[in-house]
Amino acid sequence: MNSEKKPTRADVEAAVKTIIRWTGDDPTRDGLQETPSRVAKALEEYFRGYDQDPEAILQKTFEEIEGYDEIIVLRGIRFESHCEHHMAPIIGRAWVGYIPDGRVVGISKLARVVDAYAKRLQIQEKMTAQIANTIQDVLKPQGVAVVIKAEHHCMTTRGVHKPGTDMVTSRMLGAFRDNPLTRQEFLAIVTEDSKTS
């Protein structure tokens, strides 16, 4: 991030008015007068991930797990993001799994980590790696697996116009990378969930 002063909300609203004029419309007409304010508010929501620390989300863990050391998977975590190339929506689902090594995290925290990275300008490959790497670095489990399946509007509603096309990325660390049977078990869970949804 550069050291320039962050633009104010008024700056953002002025920029939206400029965009409206650039499209050929009049930002002062009745239907558009409140649009710059609404867009600024929407952008705050779309990009709130920049104000979140994914590592901090995972700090509270539980050690009373009776020796549980099998796969834990949170399936089909829906997310909305925006591509950093066109600022077009990326709508998808994430499957996040890990094998604990003495401690677990509340499952809602896994969904929050996905959101913290999704609510930024993104490319799917980077987001997949960020989620897996953060879980590995903070929880230090035996392994982490992340699969993301998403539709990119920069390709489905503009450009090549290929609706119904989605992209799948994965990141396997530790036991999921080293043990083919562990990886296969996780991917079977992902595949089964994809068929039923």
Our count of domains for the chain comes to 2
Range of the domain at 31: 9-46
Asked if 15 and 60 sit in the same domain, the reply is no
Asked if 37 and 83 sit in the same domain, the reply is no
Secondary structure (3-state) at 146? strand
pLDDT at position 1, please? 56
Count how many Cα atoms sit within 13 Å of the Cα of residue 136 in the half-sphere of its side chain. Answer: 18
Secondary structure (3-state) at 81? strand
- Name the catalytic one among 52, 80, 151, 154: 154
Asked if 68 and 155 sit in the same domain, the reply is yes
Annotation says 124 is catalytic: yes
- Name the catalytic one among 13, 122, 124, 130: 124
Secondary structure (3-state) at 103? coil
- Name the catalytic one among 33, 85, 184, 192: 85
Cα separation, 43 vs 184, in Å, equals 39
Annotation says 70 is catalytic: no
Q: Which CATH number belongs to the domain containing residue 84 in this structure? A: 3.30.1130.10
Sheet strands (E) in the chain: 61-62, 72-83, 89-99, 104-105, 121-122, 143-152, 167-174
Annotation says 82 is catalytic: no
Contact 95, 74 (CB under 8 A): yes
- Name the catalytic one among 52, 86, 151, 185: 86
Per-residue tens of pLDDT for the chain, all 197 residues: 566 899 999 999 999 999 999 999 999 999 999 999 999 999 999 999 999 999 999 999 999 889 999 999 999 999 999 999 999 999 999 999 999 999 999 999 999 999 999 999 999 999 999 999 999 999 999 999 999 999 999 998 988 888 889 999 999 999 999 999 999 999 999 998 766 65
Asked if 120 and 158 sit in the same domain, the reply is yes
Do β-strands 143-152 and 89-99 pair in parallel, antiparallel, or remain unpaired? antiparallel
Strand partners of residue 77 = 94
Burial tier of 3 (Cβ tally within 10 Å: 0-12, 13-18, 19+): exposed
